[in-house]
Structure 1
């Protein structure tokens, strides 16, 4: 089944308790030829996620029965390969960070603009399709195998979330090259992204932690993700200058 405008269609799980918002979002998504399962509670959403694989989840954090952050954590365990986007009326940065750390790949602040919603979905789905033609990239003992969506450190598998993988693959595609925050947000999330880039910082922190843990246990030589203050990040092999780190 093709999308009405760009051929990108998917199975989407919408978890939203507000009937008006849910009707608008589900109707708009279906008009773009996506298959939509709309659940109105956290419990129903988790049950649906356990029963059927989906490509993308839209999760409202303000649910009537369960804490949205806990639902986010459980969804990530139930659907490790899907894109998880939180919908939140909580504009405070800390709420967004907590959601991202709980397993979300992206977020949208309510009221959600439909044009932005569809642009984000297209970007997320296309990112997964485009990766198939990129060869595996070895950097020291770190290997980013894009077609297989697999990362290893000295032969040990590194378990990453969807956007953590995409971000590492983008950095690894140009090792030792300084990449701006704007470039990373555009290439990994959305070319029309605007507003806070806290999403990027949270994912960088998670990558550093996960790579570091596996590298330490394997005594492996892995690249560093170096912070370039006021600009962005660079993936480099070897010990960077300490002044580059925050």
Structure 2
């Protein structure tokens, strides 16, 4: 399984590091606790994960899933255009390739960011507000309950974070803050978070995404993410 991380700007190295460290931990959990690890997947069916940096359009055809990292969404958007990635990204995602956008990556995937003028991939039915919680000094961490991940709550790091203001009818809300602000969502093969899961040691959201990728590659085997009973991570 080849998972790409868009490596134009931002914290792509942190996502690469998480993916590099996932194989052993995933196998360890499969072997040690079969009741609370990876439903429907045994040791033989766990695929090695190859993490690759993506910068050019022709690299998109060689990956099974893509992570869009946090960073400066305006800068990443301009670089996507400069590197002729915009339409290839739209086509690849429309074809079913799983994509995971964190913070700036979520902004880039949204169809609407309040009328601001910047390049967007714009394939997910979301309205997102940039810097919704203030500037750098207003960054924060919180324990975030996510039903699909089970207990304990996920430690979520918000750095100049956006907020999801509204979602379309086909979008599943995965997490909200205590004030009801939406901070994680999924629409078919697209996953977004307003926070940075790559900045903590909790790999459950990355595992969730890897299962989306596995499901897209082997739908008959990895069908757990279509069944709510098989989404607990």
- TM superposition score normalised by structure 1: 0.38
Greater per-residue helix proportion: 1
TM-score after normalising by structure 2: 0.39
The structure, 1 or 2, with the larger RCO (C-alpha pairs under 8 Å, 6+ apart) is: 2
